[in-house]
Amino acid sequence: MGIKKKIKRYLHNYKINKKYGKFQSNKIIKTEWNKFFINRIALINAAVSNILKKNNECNYMEIGCDDNFVFNSIILPEKNKIGIDPKNGGNYKMTSDKFFEKNKKKFDVIFIDGLHHYDQCQKDCINSMKLLNPGGIIFLHDLLPRCEIEQVIPQSYSTWSGDVWKVAVELSHSTNVDFKICNIDHGLGILKLKNDFEYKKLDLKNATFDEYLSFKKDFNIINSEDALDFIEFEN
């Protein structure tokens, strides 16, 4: 990278940091990520393992594969994995909207990590809920931004969760769902569905980071050991 580009990037980051208070301690959530070493891949594979024990087969869908870091780590043969990404990884090169228009297949484990915009994540979640087999689990990534800059739209900082936390608020208010957030990997949502579930849409498009801090107090946040229990993982 040339010196002019480096200076330009430095000035851009400085303005963003100043605007959104990244270095103002009263604006930063002091998050104690769970020290028990486990990540989203381990929890997703735990859910896959459970399904395999019960059904001898598990169908997995991932929205937003990027470099296939998660997708390639899921312990299933390729025929049981669908990865959706219009640009990089996965095996379906299309948007999730296009996929849902055509797809008729159902899934046992779903991981949502696509475009980190509230409206898109909301659509991905609702569409995924319709395709989940009984006893299945949906995972959602990046639900716990640590500071305002991490959730700004459009992306302005390297560590970015977008405003998908708004979907977490809606799931927390939805009917006949069991929803928790594991305090790993910037917040991993774990969603189970009951009979007659209903997604609760709220008017959160203009909700602020301060409102997020208020909503967060009501989130059911658990550590990774409790997440394994919630998934009902049997070693």
Could you give phi then psi for residue 20, rounded to 5 degrees?
Answer: -100, 10
Which residue has better confidence, 10 or 79?
79
Residue 180, pLDDT > 80, answer: yes
Q: Residue 101: in which H helix or E strand, if any?
A: helix 96-102
Mean per-residue pLDDT for 51-55? 93
Q: What angle do CA 152, 178, 51 make, to 5 degrees?
A: 105
Distance, CA of 35 to CA of 125 (rounded, Å): 29
The rounded mean pLDDT for the chain is: 87
In angstroms, the CA 122 to CA 205 distance is: 11
Q: Note the pTM of the prediction, 2 decimals.
A: 0.86
* Residue 37, pLDDT score: 54
| pLDDT number for residue 91 | 96
Average the pLDDT over 4-17 and give the result.
43
Per-residue pLDDT, 13: 44
Least confident stretch, 32-41, 76-85, 135-144: 32-41
Domain holding 97, by residue range, is: 3-231
- In the chain, the number of structural domains is 1
Least confident of 16-20, 45-49, 127-131: 16-20
User: Per-residue confidence at 233, pLDDT binned at 50, 70, 90?
Assistant: confident
The CATH number for 44's domain is 3.40.50.150
Query: What average pLDDT does the segment 172-200 reach?
Result: 97
Average pLDDT over residues 17-35: 40
The number of beta carbons lying within 10 Å of the beta carbon of residue 157 is 17
Average pLDDT for 39-53: 93
Q: State pLDDT tens for residues 95-153.
A: 999 999 999 999 999 999 999 999 999 999 999 999 999 999 999 999 999 999 999 99
